[in-house]
Amino acid sequence: MEKLTVTPWEVNGELNDSSYSKLVEKFGVDLINDNLISRINKISKGNLHPLLKRKVFFAHRELNLVLDDYENNRPFYLYTGRGPSGKMHIGHLLPFTFALWLQRTFNVNLFIQMTDDEKFLISGKEKNEIEKFTNDNILDIISLGFDPKKTHILADYRSAKVLYYYATDVAKHITVSTVKAVFGVNDSDNIGKVFFPSMQITPAFLFSALTGKKMRCLIPYAIDQDPYFRIARDVLPKLGYYKPSAIISKFLPALQGNSAKMSSSKTESAIFLDDSKAEVKKKLMKYAFSGGKDTLEEQRKYGANPDIDFAFLEYSFLEEDQGKVDRIYQDYKSGKMLSGEMKELAAEKISEFLESLKTKKEKMKDRVGEYMFDPEKIKLYS
Amino acid sequence: MEKLTVTPWEVNGELNDSSYSKLVEKFGVDLINDNLISRINKISKGNLHPLLKRKVFFAHRELNLVLDDYENNRPFYLYTGRGPSGKMHIGHLLPFTFALWLQRTFNVNLFIQMTDDEKFLISGKEKNEIEKFTNDNILDIISLGFDPKKTHILADYRSAKVLYYYATDVAKHITVSTVKAVFGVNDSDNIGKVFFPSMQITPAFLFSALTGKKMRCLIPYAIDQDPYFRIARDVLPKLGYYKPSAIISKFLPALQGNSAKMSSSKTESAIFLDDSKAEVKKKLMKYAFSGGKDTLEEQRKYGANPDIDFAFLEYSFLEEDQGKVDRIYQDYKSGKMLSGEMKELAAEKISEFLESLKTKKEKMKDRVGEYMFDPEKIKLYS
């Protein structure tokens, strides 16, 4: 049997329902059950995010405690992040649309960490190249519409004065052995990579540290990031903070299928945010993993499996009219709609989204400063 | 035979001439020879620092290249530091009097690093306690008379934005294996301690990094700090900088003798900068390691060994009239002067020095800001 390895720096093995079940057990997370979904659905006034509805976000840790806090008017905050190793593709943006939805639904503060230091420490890229991606990625992210008053972007190098200060609190409680066991690093790894988990764990209590108010942090992340937050749950109580709560996704749909994360290392393997309408269409037609059948006849007869179909999934995440999404789902599944038609529809929707994002991005260029982490701004919440 | 272990975090074994010879060989440093002394003597216009004259600073690495630079009007800079784990005693101040002398003799910039992060990571002390010591130590140090225009104090936590940025350049070239081999850390050590060498190495090229001018760095340090700079000499050329040069001291004279470093963990084991005149005298009389003979009769007959006598050594470092020092040396060595008289004289000199330092320290309280690291100030030298 193939060995399944899932750490932030290595994902090996086929990812399917069975392997996700194994990870749930191995990592000790809980599945999101109907009770939780119905609580969130109620809070969101029936406006459940499609990534939750389709169980792409499928697991959690103490999400119930965060909902308890919300229902009892106790403050909490969100934390997510990105490693700025390249241009963003639509797969990268999805978790941010989810974080945005969480921010709006719960009306809470959000940290977004850009791990420029990690990308420098683990790759062959130069700092100035990574900085360029960092700036470009930040623009992409804030163009989604985050609340500038409640969104705080921690670009690690720029925020290092505060981050390093608190990261040493974390580091003091993590041994080299632990990092070896949890992340699979070894003695030939560099000492910056070994220290880095302290930097990624810090935002999970930073809001409490800066405001002096002990509050819970909810972290949406893909399951490969779980090692950081498993350690965080061990360390944070020792520092007097809550264990972080988590809402955990499977790997997001990839252009070429779900067996691997959507990769940005090959141009044709993903739809980038600056792709033209023609490129989007071409990539979908040529590369998109399809849930449809091999022949027109079979498709008409048996229908497609939309749940693994890249075009359908992207369409479903971008189309705001959920009634329409449900109709397309039925049509595609029943065989009434063909794979090519699904791709055309998705191409249209994606291009529309990218066009609108480009316009917003242009307008956002002068407003980046409003979103960057500033400890004084955080202290206003104390 | 007793094993000799010398790292920044552990000093074990008797330290005598033979063990220093072993360290010189083991660490691969060079002894400071007469030729180097005479070059420095010439540059200092005959005003050689007593720590050099008495060969407390006894070894070096590429000190000759720094002197070449000076003689050819090429800029270089100095870097030294302190771990702010407690109040300073006079033993702690000595290397700073030497750094001050170097700064004045060569008229160069100087970094002083306060490793508050290291002290936090390796001790049980709280950050606020360490911060209090950091501030107090900084005041003690600047009261010696450093040039505020050319002295830049890097308190690690406060300077972390710049330090962490460059420290990751260093960290990327240091493996866990290397830190294990050089510092004797192991898998049960915390990841902050393992990363820390990057922070201490960074100032050895920081001036070049910030000004964009490749220049040499001369680092005066006690030999237990050598592991950092051995690694630095390996890493810095990979980053495009010069290997750091070093001027290396034995452990400085300790109140209770030279077999151990003067420790600040026990009040009676050192003369602290805030000790009263009465305390200074009492500590010298009661605890100071003496080079004199056991009885008055033997002392008169055989004389003392001033070179291992704490009272004489401190006196010799503080008395500016070197003719006077030489006369005392002869009188004490010949038996004309007794141990008690030597201690009285030293107590007088030390108290005088401490009194004057207290007055200066009071005046310096409002001027600390002038000495703190500011990257913009450094860039003026580019």
CATH of the domain at B355: 1.10.240.10
Last residue of a domain, one of B226, B254, B282: B254
CA angle A295, A296, A301 (to 5 degrees): 100
Query: Of A174-188, A290-304, B255-269, which range is least confident?
Result: B255-269
Instruction: Identify which of B157, B163, B179 has the shortest CB distance to residue A191.
Output: B179
Test A190 with B180 for CB contact under 8 angstroms. no
DSSP code of B85? S
CA angle B84, B227, B88 (to 5 degrees): 20
Mean pLDDT throughout B91-97?
A: 92
DSSP code of B272? B
CA-nearest residue of chain A to B173? A190
How far apart are alpha carbons A214 and A244 in whole angstroms? 12
Q: Cβ(B191)–Cβ(A179) under 8 Å? A: yes
Is residue A180 included in any domain, yes or no? Answer: yes
Q: Cβ(A175)–Cβ(B190) under 8 Å? A: yes
Closest Cα partner for A118 from A170, A81, A79, A80?
A81
> What does the pLDDT look like over A353-380, one tens digit per residue?
999 999 999 999 999 999 999 999 999 9
Asked if B226 and B80 sit in the same domain, the reply is yes
Closest Cα partner for A58 from A282, A220, A242?
A220
Residue B112 Cα, gap to closest chain A Cα (Å): 18
Burial class (CB in 10 A: 0-12, 13-18, 19+), B9: middle
Is residue A71 included in any domain, yes or no? Answer: yes
How far apart are alpha carbons B299 and B337 in whole angstroms? 8
Residue A155 Cα, gap to closest chain B Cα (Å): 11
More confident residue, B26 or A205: A205
How far apart are alpha carbons A90 and B313 in whole angstroms? 71
Asked if A216 and A282 sit in the same domain, the reply is no
Asked if B233 and B280 sit in the same domain, the reply is no
Is residue B130 included in any domain, yes or no? Answer: yes
Q: Cβ(A252)–Cβ(A222) under 8 Å? A: yes
CA angle B351, B353, B358 (to 5 degrees): 90
Q: Cβ(A110)–Cβ(A150) under 8 Å? A: yes
Residue B96, pLDDT above cutoff 90: yes
Test A160 with B158 for CB contact under 8 angstroms. no
Average pLDDT score, chain A: 93
Q: Within chain A, where are the H helices?
A: 17-27, 34-43, 50-53, 63-71, 90-106, 116-122, 127-142, 160-171, 176-183, 191-201, 203-211, 226-235, 277-287, 296-302, 310-318, 322-334, 339-364, 368-371, 375-379
Asked if A295 and A210 sit in the same domain, the reply is no
Residue B2, pLDDT above cutoff 70: no
| Dihedral-angle region of residue B373 (phi above 0 means left; psi in -120 to 50 means alpha; beta otherwise) | beta
* pLDDT score, position A268: 67
Number of domains within chain A: 2
Q: Cβ(B65)–Cβ(B186) under 8 Å? A: no
Q: How many CB pairs under 8 A join A and B?
A: 112
Give the distance, in angstroms, between the CA of residue B359 and the centroid of all CA atoms in the same chain. 23
Residue B178 Cα, gap to closest chain A Cα (Å): 8
Mean pLDDT throughout A64-88?
A: 97
Asked if A195 and A287 sit in the same domain, the reply is no
DSSP code of A242? P
Test A188 with B195 for CB contact under 8 angstroms. no
Average pLDDT score, chain B: 93
Asked if A219 and A247 sit in the same domain, the reply is yes
> What does the pLDDT look like over B298-333, one tens digit per residue?
999 999 999 889 999 999 989 988 899 999 999 999
Kindly state the helix (H) or strand (E) to which residue B358 belongs, with its residue range: helix B339-364
Test A175 with B190 for CB contact under 8 angstroms. yes
CA-nearest residue of chain B to A123? B172
Please list every residue in chain A whose beta carbon sits closer than 8 Å to the beta carbon of residue B169.
127
Asked if B94 and B120 sit in the same domain, the reply is yes
How far apart are alpha carbons A174 and B358 in whole angstroms? 42
More confident residue, B240 or B55: B240
CATH number of the CATH domain containing B197: 3.40.50.620
Kindly state the helix (H) or strand (E) to which residue A31 belongs, with its residue range: strand A30-31
Mean pLDDT throughout A185-201?
A: 98
Residue B212 Cα, gap to closest chain A Cα (Å): 15
- Chain B 298-317, CB below 8 Å of chain A: which residues? none
How far apart are alpha carbons A366 and A362 in whole angstroms? 9
* pLDDT score, position B18: 81
Residue A51, pLDDT above cutoff 70: yes
pLDDT interval class at A1 (50, 70, 90)? very low
- Chain A 94-123, CB below 8 Å of chain B: which residues? 117, 120-121
**Chain B contact probe: residue of A176, A189, A239 with most B CBs at under 10 A:** A176
How far apart are alpha carbons A1 and A203 in whole angstroms? 38
Burial class (CB in 10 A: 0-12, 13-18, 19+), B1: exposed
* pLDDT score, position B264: 52
Last residue of a domain, one of A191, A224, A254: A254
Residue A293 Cα, gap to closest chain B Cα (Å): 49
Test B197 with A180 for CB contact under 8 angstroms. no
Is residue A37 included in any domain, yes or no? Answer: yes
Residues 6+ apart with CB under 8 A from A155: A114, A116, A134, A138, A372, A373
Please list every residue in chain B whose beta carbon sits closer than 8 Å to the beta carbon of residue A172.
120-121, 190, 192
Asked if B185 and B333 sit in the same domain, the reply is no
Is residue B371 included in any domain, yes or no? Answer: no
Cβ neighbours of A174 (radius 10 Å): 23
Test A117 with B180 for CB contact under 8 angstroms. no
Is residue B370 included in any domain, yes or no? Answer: no
Test A167 with B192 for CB contact under 8 angstroms. yes
Q: Cβ(B10)–Cβ(B184) under 8 Å? A: yes
The pTM of this model reads 0.94
Burial class (CB in 10 A: 0-12, 13-18, 19+), B36: middle
Asked if A172 and A107 sit in the same domain, the reply is yes
Asked if A298 and A204 sit in the same domain, the reply is no
**Chain B contact probe: residue of A119, A164, A201, A202 with most B CBs at under 10 A:** A164
- Provide the residue count of chain A: 382
* pLDDT score, position A266: 59
Q: Is B214 touching A (CB cutoff 8 A)?
A: no
> What does the pLDDT look like over A292-306, one tens digit per residue?
998 889 999 999 999
Mean pLDDT throughout B142-163?
A: 98
Tell me the percentage of chain B whose pLDDT exceeds 70: 96
Q: Is the dihedral of CA B245, B232, A170, A81 positive or negative?
A: positive
Residue A213 Cα, gap to closest chain B Cα (Å): 19
pLDDT interval class at B20 (50, 70, 90)? confident
Closest Cα partner for B160 from B368, B9, B370, B375?
B375
How far apart are alpha carbons A205 and A244 in whole angstroms? 8
Query: Of A40-44, A145-149, A321-325, B352-356, which range is least confident?
Result: A321-325
Test A176 with B188 for CB contact under 8 angstroms. yes
Residues 6+ apart with CB under 8 A from A215: A69, A74, A75, A76, A77, A207, A208, A242
Cβ neighbours of A370 (radius 10 Å): 15
Tell me the percentage of chain A whose pLDDT exceeds 70: 96
Residue B52, pLDDT above cutoff 90: yes
Asked if A234 and A273 sit in the same domain, the reply is no
Residue A260, pLDDT above cutoff 70: no
Q: Which domain holds residue A311?
A: 265-364
Test A173 with B194 for CB contact under 8 angstroms. no
Mean pLDDT throughout B136-161?
A: 98
> Strand, coil or helix: what is B155?
strand
Query: Of A135-139, A140-144, B86-90, which range is least confident?
Result: B86-90
How far apart are alpha carbons B150 and A16 in whole angstroms? 62
Q: Is A174 touching B (CB cutoff 8 A)?
A: yes
> What does the pLDDT look like over B107-124, one tens digit per residue?
999 999 999 999 999 999
Residue A107, pLDDT above cutoff 90: yes
How far apart are alpha carbons A140 and A89 in whole angstroms? 10
Q: Is B188 touching A (CB cutoff 8 A)?
A: yes
CA-nearest residue of chain A to B194? A191
Is residue A371 included in any domain, yes or no? Answer: no
pLDDT interval class at B272 (50, 70, 90)? very high
Closest Cα partner for B83 from B117, B57, B109, B108?
B117
Asked if A245 and A273 sit in the same domain, the reply is no
Q: Cβ(A221)–Cβ(A60) under 8 Å? A: no
> What does the pLDDT look like over A3-24, one tens digit per residue?
677 788 877 766 677 888 888 9
Angstrom CA distances, B345 to A232, B160, B252, B316, stand at 59, 45, 20, 11
Is residue B380 included in any domain, yes or no? Answer: no
Test A165 with B164 for CB contact under 8 angstroms. no
Q: Is A227 touching B (CB cutoff 8 A)?
A: no
Q: Is A180 touching B (CB cutoff 8 A)?
A: yes
Angle between helices B191-201 and A176-183 in degrees, nearest 10: 110
* pLDDT score, position B227: 94
* pLDDT score, position B251: 83
pLDDT interval class at A335 (50, 70, 90)? very high
